Structures are given as structure tokens and as C-alpha cells.
Structure 1
Amino acid sequence: MDLRKEKTSILLAGAVIGIIASLLVFFGNPANMGFCIACFLRDTAGALGLHSAAAVQYIRPEIIGLVLGSFLLALGKKELSARGGSAPLTRFVLGVFVMIGCLMFLGCPFRMILRLAGGDLNALFGLAGFVCGILAGVFFLKRGYTLKRTYRLPVLEGRLFACIQVVLLVLLVAAPSLLRFTQSGGGPGAKHAAILISLAAGLIVGALAQRTRLCMVGGIRDLVLFRETKLILGFVAILVSALACNLILNAATPDTYFHLSLAGQPVAHTDGLWNFLGMLLAGFGCVLLGGCPLRQLVLSGEGNTDSAMTVIGLMAGAAFAHNFGLASSGEGPTANGKIAVILGIAVVCAIACLNTFRKKDA
């Protein structure tokens, strides 16, 4: 596929994904949260009992669909490949701190774009921090940062993560009594589209993201390193299509799908400094991991166990955040959360230095 066709494919995929994300809000997902990898992994972690924040406990079918959509398309294209062994514990730790950064901001890079499409100007502070975090990561990439190579693994290793998603889907549909679910209608975890709609949306987005290698971190990284705009175009398309869809939906119910302001935004706070620092941590960590949370889920579906370990780290980070009061709320960041973000930036910087400037292995 030549570059022009690749760009067209990514633009079309981004446009479809943006429309799907906007429509998921129409069908019941929280406002400005048609898709949020960080939030949905947090909800799933809560449903599995990893944290006790009752407002955010629900196995999100979108996550299941993302992994299975990637898995099925990779299987059909003969791109399914079991591989791993590239510093899995380091990736787990990075995943923990990326999630802490996301929950300081209250969203992943994907939701950051969707918040902008909904008129949430707080996301501009997050975007600025995200870009700065990526630039910090690029600094180390240019100087040789690496977590070393991956290795081929037994076939089963590459399929286990997808199998786990099937088990979660069975639990969600057939045995919800075994899970923790939000009972009240007030929390964002209680708001969701119907299971089949959410699952179908996840399958489509997962397949499209696998086909186009969509990754916002990769898009900004490649723009800085190689002046290549291909990947970033996908997220521009998501922003434009979600914004257009929100404005159309908003015509019938004003200020429901689009509300241009800093204050009064759903599942958001107005502390610009900590929105900035939270996404700086997330962007920095994602560069060192090689992709954003969306990309990590897609790679997990393709059989990459290092990405699967990163996803487990993200879920563990969500559990830490809610068990120890690190996650922000609409009222703003917590004192514990601020300490965790500063600590996270220091830890991620240390990981970057140790994997860039240490002496070569004998």
C-alpha cells in the first residue's frame, strides 16, 4: 500500500471511529466518554474487585471488543504472532504510572480528543502536557533508549489475552452476580450503552486500529522524529468527525453533546496545572512503552505479551489510584494524586535514563 492510500485509509478509519465514539454517548455511555481506554480499564478492574469505588465498576464490552477485533483481523491476515520478553516488569511499572497520569487528567489520549470534540477546553491543558511528555520521550529515543528485543513465544501465549476477554464477556452476560457492578445511577460506571452495541463498537474500532496501526503517541512521535503525518491524521479525523457528530446531536438537545467551556464539563476538573502534568506523565510513559493505551490493547490482541503485561499494569494502576485516593474527581485532584504524579514522572525519567545511558551489557 503506497503512502497516499495509507493516509486515506487512516483518515477514513479515524472518521468512522470518531462517529462511533460520539454515538456511544448517544446510546448511553457517559458524556464525552464514548471511548476511554483508561476509564474503561478502571471500570473493568472495579468489576473484578480490584478496587472498591462503587461509582466505577463495570466490565466494559468496548475493551473486550477492541482486543477481539484486533485478534480476529490479525488472525485473518496471518499477522497473529506470539512474542514478548522485552522487559515485561518494566512495562508493568510504566503501565501503572501511565494510568495514574491518565486518572489525574481523567482520561486517556483517546478521551482527551473526545473531550475536545465535546467542547471541554480543559483538554487543551492535557494536550499540551501530552505533547511535552512525548517530546521528553523522544529526547531519550534519539539517544538510544530501548527495552531490548522481543522473542517468539509458544502459540498459546499469543492467544491467552484474547481468551481472557472471552471469559470476561461470558461473565458479563451469563454470571453478572459474580462481579461488582455499580448499583446507583449517579456514577459514570453506571452509564453504558447496551452490551451488544458496546461490543460491536469495540470490534469495529479494534479491527480498524489494527488495520491502520492507529496510535496518537506514535503519530506525534513520528511527526517530531520523521516529519511523518500519517498516524496523526487518524486522530485529527477522530476529532473532526466526533465534533461534527456531536454538533448534529446537540441540535436536538443543546449542551448535551457539545458545551464549549472550562467549567461544568462531565467527568472533568478545571485544574490546568495538574491536567497538564497528568498527561505529561502519560505521554512520557507511553513513548517509552512504544504506544498509547489503545495501541497496547491492539497489540495485545495481535499476540504481544509485553503489551498484555502493560495492560495489566494499567489495570493495577487504576486499582492503586482508587484504593489510595490518587484519582481525580470533578472536584479536582487529590493531594495523594499530586504526590503520585510527581513520583511517577521521577520514576519514568529514571527508567528512561537507565535504559538509555547505562553501560552496554557485557
Structure 2
Amino acid sequence: MKGKKDIIIAGGIIGLLSVLLVKLGNPANMGFCIACFIRDIAGGIGLHRAPIVQYIRPEVIGLVLGAFIISMKNKEFQSRGGSSPFTRFILGIAVMIGALMFLGCPLRMVLRLAGGDLNAILGIAGFVVGIFVGVFFLNKGFNLKRSYNLPKFEGYLFPIVNVGLFVLLLSGFSMLLFSEEGPGSMHAPIWISLIVGLIVGALSQKTRLCMVGGTRDMIMFKDNYLLSGFLSILVFAFIGNLILGYFNPGFANQPVAHTDGLWNFLGMVLVGWGSVLLGGCPLRQLILAGEGNTDSAVTVMGSLVGAAICHNFGLASSPKGTTTNGQVAVIICFLLVLVISLVNSEMLVKQNNLKKVNNN
């Protein structure tokens, strides 16, 4: 019971801090959005040239370093990797394409609903469907093979890169790009963003917070521990939005959102399915990378590249709606994720091999 109480408290803190970041300058309903923030970072380092989404988000850096510090303190830091890294890289790209079709990760999906954006309901429906599909393949023996212990320095590299990125941000390095308008230009003060990221990273590491894991565990084991954390985020962010006057219920005219229900749904199906195969949502991947998991670090790099692809090739949605290129990309990603699911599901592979033997 104590464990569930802890994750509910952590979720409440995260929900309130998310609203606080909006109060201090972040875009509405975007106190945290892992997909959007990684997209902004991709723009900030010049991987794409969309001028309205370019900024090195200190929240992401804080998440990684918060998880790193707590895992070191609790002796939970473990440098591991080697579990189908390129497959994880590709899945990271696919999940990002789905998230930028919807315009948000699972965490922002909850925060959008807490702010009154009813388009998030269709996103949640798609997300749950995607997790059901992923669980089907887990039950068929899906796995990306074992990981291996690595030298500690391998696990240190991702946090070190994030420290370097923060130093560049503070220095105002001339090669970095900064939006002068749009969502990328809207942000809380740097140090506050970092501190909030550190707190949320520490809490997420301690409680193993993950919406994909929570929904998956509820489906497979009827365990609502992880899911209770996200319900707490929803409730407390809703309360914070009410107090500050940010709650605006409806479908139309929502901040950084569109009303195309079908593609909101399908985008999050892709996010849910891909995240189950990866073993966690985009937030969880950052936390695991901070703990020394290099497979998760590779997944985050895939997400970074995916964000660049979305904006370089016109795949990302906008408040005006989705794009034809984005719709085609989501369909291609569904086919790709299906192939990855089939090839790595041991029971399905064995059944197929038996059929071949019997036919011969």
C-alpha cells in the first residue's frame, strides 16, 4: 500500500509542476511533452529547420540527470545494453512519428485532457488499442533478446552528453538555433525548467512511472500500481488548471492540437504498440537511459532522428491538421512495427517453422 501511496503523491507533484511550468512560460497543456521537447531539441541542434520548434529543453536534461543521480544514490545504476539496438532505434523513430501525428507523448496526452482538450480522449482510446496489440505479441513470446552488462562508462555517456548540452545552452553557443515565435519560443526560465526536470526525473525513477507499463500491467496482471500514478497526474493537473483558469473544455481551438479524430487515434495506436515492444513510454526511455540503459539511450536517439524526419519531410501535424505525408508515414510505420512484432515473437516463429516442416 505504501508503494501505491508514493506513486500517487509523485503523480500529484508532477501534475502540479507541469501546470507551474505553463504558468512560467511553457506552451499551454505542455508543461511536459517528451516527444515535443525532443523535437525542439532536434531543431535546436539543427537537425531540422522548422523555425517555430527549436529550443534546447532543460526539462529533458533534468529528467535524465534526476534519474541518474537517484539511481547512483540508491545503487541502482547499471550499465547494460546490446538488446537489438538498431531495432530499438527504428522503433524510436516510429513512436516519434506517431506522437507527432497526435502532437504529444502519453504524458502530454494526459496533460491535454487535464486542460480540457477533448481530442485527447481519442488519443487515449488509440493508445489503449495499441497497447492491447502490443500485449498480444508479448503473449506470443515477443522479445528483443537479452541485454548484457557493459563497462560503467557506457552508461555514463548519455548523462554526460546531457550535461554538455546544458552547458551549450547556458553559454548561448552561436551554432544552436532558437525559435523567435511559436511553441519553441515559449519556455519557463532555464534554471527552473532544469530543477523541475530533476525533480520529475527523480520521482519517475523512484516510482518507475510509465503510462505504457501501467496500462500493460493492468491488461496482463490486473495491477493498477503504475496506472494510478498517471491518474494522479491527471487529477492534480486538472485541479491546477482550474485554479489558474487554464481549463478550457472542448475539441476546437485547443493549444498545439488538431481535431482530426481518426489520425489522433491512429497516431496513438502506433505510440502504444511501439512503446510496448520497447518496454516503456518515451518518458520511461529517458529515465532508463539515465539509469545506464544504453538500449534506451539508442531509443531516445531514434526519437531524436524521428523528430528531424517528421519536420524535414512534412510528416508532423500542426494546429491546422495532419499532412498527407504524415498519414502515409504512419501507415508505413504500422507495417514496419508489424513485421518487427512477427519476426521477434518466438511462438509465432515456431508455429511458422512447424508449418514449413509439415508441408515438406
Which TM-score band (shorter chain)? over 0.9
Q: Secondary structure at the match of 2:136?
A: helix
Alignment check: 8 A CA contact 1:70 1:203 kept: yes
Instruction: Summarize the alignment of residues 53-202 of structure 1 with structure 2, pairs less than 5 Å apart.
Output: 53-183=50-180, 185=181, 187-202=182-197
- Return the match for 2:14 from 1, 12, 17: 17
Tell me the matched-pair count. Answer: 350
Instruction: Summarize the alignment of residues 279-318 of structure 1 with structure 2, pairs less than 5 Å apart.
Output: 279-318=268-307
CA shift digits 1:1-32 (9 cap, x unpaired) = xxx01100000000000000011000000000
CA shift digits 1:236-279 (9 cap, x unpaired) = 000000000000000xxxxxx11000000000000000000000
Normalised by the length of structure 1, the TM-score is 0.96
Q: In the alignment, is residue 358 of structure 1 matched against residue 353 of structure 2?
A: no
> In structure 2, what is the Cα distance between the partners aligned to 1:320 and 1:85?
25
> In structure 2, what is the Cα distance between the partners aligned to 1:112 and 1:289?
19
Alignment check: 8 A CA contact 1:171 1:178 kept: no
Tell me by how many angstroms 1:175 deviates.
3.2
CA shift digits 1:58-82 (9 cap, x unpaired) = 0000000000000000000011100
Aligned to 2:310: 321
Tell me by how many angstroms 1:359 deviates.
4.6
CA shift digits 1:151-184 (9 cap, x unpaired) = 000110010000000000000001332201112x
Instruction: Specify every segment of 5 or more residues in structure 2 that has no aligned partner in the other structure, as ranges.
Output: 354-360
Alignment check: 8 A CA contact 1:68 1:203 kept: yes
Letter of the 1:267 counterpart: V
Aligned to 1:254: none
Normalised by the length of structure 2, the TM-score is 0.96
- Return the match for 1:227 from 219, 222, 235: 222
Task: State the identity as a percent.
Answer: 62
CA shift digits 1:89-133 (9 cap, x unpaired) = 000000000000000000000000000000000000000000000
Instruction: Summarize the alignment of residues 181-260 of structure 1 with structure 2, pairs less than 5 Å apart.
Output: 181-183=178-180, 185=181, 187-250=182-245, 257-260=246-249
Alignment check: 8 A CA contact 1:15 1:241 kept: yes
Tell me by how many angstroms 1:349 deviates.
1.0
Alignment check: 8 A CA contact 1:81 1:158 kept: yes
Q: Secondary structure at the match of 1:55?
A: coil
> In structure 2, what is the Cα distance between the partners aligned to 1:321 and 1:21?
26
Q: Secondary structure at the match of 2:322?
A: coil
> In structure 2, what is the Cα distance between the partners aligned to 1:297 and 1:336?
28
